[in-house]
Amino acid sequence: MLNAQVEPYTKLRENLASRDRSLREKVVSLEEAASFVQDGMKVGIGGSTMSRTPMALLWEVIRQRRQDLSCSRCIVSTDGDLLFGSGASNHIITSWFAQGILWGLSKVMRLHVEKLGKNYEEWSHMGVGMRFRAGAMGVPFLPMRAMLGSGVLDQRPEAKPFDCPFTGEKLLLVPALNPDVALIHVQRCDAYGNAQIDGLQFMDIDLAMAANRVILTTERIVSNDQIRRAPDHTKIPFFCVDAVVEVPYGSAPHECFGLYEPMMKHMETYVAQVNGDPVNGMRDYLDRYFYGPASWNDYLALIGMEELLDASRKGRSIYND
């Protein structure tokens, strides 16, 4: 029977006490930010499905040839394909792993899990959220009911059925999830790391609180004065954050709410290529779009100005309807 690796509370407190939580500028390059991720680490990924994926950070992590990463995200899309296909990750924890609603299950994922020994650890969506919430609270587990009536529980011996000491009802205890580092993309933040998120927050707040280090990419860095004018919009505070990178279109070819929609022409081409040949198609895609470009701007140029502008027009139209 498997046991989830849960950090003792004293260790979590030691990690928290050792962090520099001062109000200081944290702006770094994309290359430096990705270097926070080292081989064998537990990596939490913000956003959900094709929404606010920290794609620029994943792009650079893959370019730096990281290996043996255990990656967790509430819902995984083509980011999981790329992590498995590049060899960066051998273990993905999530509630759903597909290329997107339009394309269904990924043939890349199936190849790596069914034939190449990669580990796809499936939880319910609530289960992933409660694991991050427990990690954020600094407790070793949280109780819930979800999964008790599901076949998913049969695949998760790490979760423990439990009789409530107050009501006698059957509950399920799920272990805390504390990533070594969290990668999160936001619409804007200041140089200190005060991050504002538009649209759905997904599990990013709990993820930021649960992780030992937090790396933010942002569409734009704004002044602290602008952040202070709308303090209720700040969802991730500076004392959680270790590095900030300004990366326009940092979720491309996925979407960033209010700014740009998914770049569907590129996504359609990608899916056809890797599903047609999960090995050679993925290798050729990585060679062209990840290892080939000298910079993130060069990567965006390969996607194409016409598609970027079209995605931006569609993304911003939500404020005009």
Domain assignments of the chain as residue spans, ordered by start: 25-126+178-319
pLDDT in tens, 143-198: 999 899 889 999 999 999 999 999 999 999 999 999 999 999 999 999 999 999 99
Query: Is-contact 250 278, C-beta < 8 A?
Result: no
Which pTM does this prediction carry?
A: 0.95
- Cβ neighbours of residue 10 closer than 8 Å, sequence gap 6 or more: none
Report the topology of domain 25-126+178-319: Glutaconate Coenzyme A-transferase (3.40.1080)
> Whole-number mean pLDDT of the chain?
94
Alpha-carbon gap, residue 211 to 213, rounded angstroms: 5
| Residue 129 exposed, middle or buried by CB count within 10 Å (0-12, 13-18, 19+) | buried
Under the banding of pLDDT at 50, 70 and 90, the label for residue 3 is low
202-205 long-range Cβ contacts below 8 angstroms, 24+ apart: 202/46, 202/47, 202/48, 202/51, 202/52, 202/74, 203/46, 203/48, 203/74, 203/128, 203/129, 203/132, 204/46, 204/47, 204/52, 204/235, 204/236, 205/136, 205/235, 205/236
What pLDDT sits at residue 1? 36
Average pLDDT of the segment spanning 97-115:
92
Alpha-carbon gap, residue 150 to 145, rounded angstroms: 10
**Short-list 157, 207, 172, CA closest to 54:** 207
What pLDDT sits at residue 11? 84
What percentage of residues in the chain have a pLDDT greater than 90? Answer: 88
What percentage of residues in the chain have a pLDDT greater than 70? Answer: 98
Average pLDDT of the segment spanning 202-214:
97
Query: Is-contact 72 238, C-beta < 8 A?
Result: no
More confident site: 16 or 192 = 192
Q: How many CB atoms within 10 Å of residue 273? A: 16
Average pLDDT of the segment spanning 36-61:
98
Alpha-carbon gap, residue 182 to 269, rounded angstroms: 29
What pLDDT sits at residue 201? 96
Under the banding of pLDDT at 50, 70 and 90, the label for residue 238 is very high
Q: How many CB atoms within 10 Å of residue 99? A: 24
Amino acid, single-letter form, for residue 255: E
Q: Report the chain's terminal Cα–Cα distance, integer Å.
A: 53
pLDDT in tens, 251-287: 999 999 999 999 999 999 999 999 999 999 999 999 9
Under the banding of pLDDT at 50, 70 and 90, the label for residue 320 is low
What pLDDT sits at residue 93? 98
What pLDDT sits at residue 2? 46
**Short-list 109, 138, 159, CA closest to 274:** 109
What pLDDT sits at residue 321? 45
Average pLDDT of the segment spanning 42-62:
98
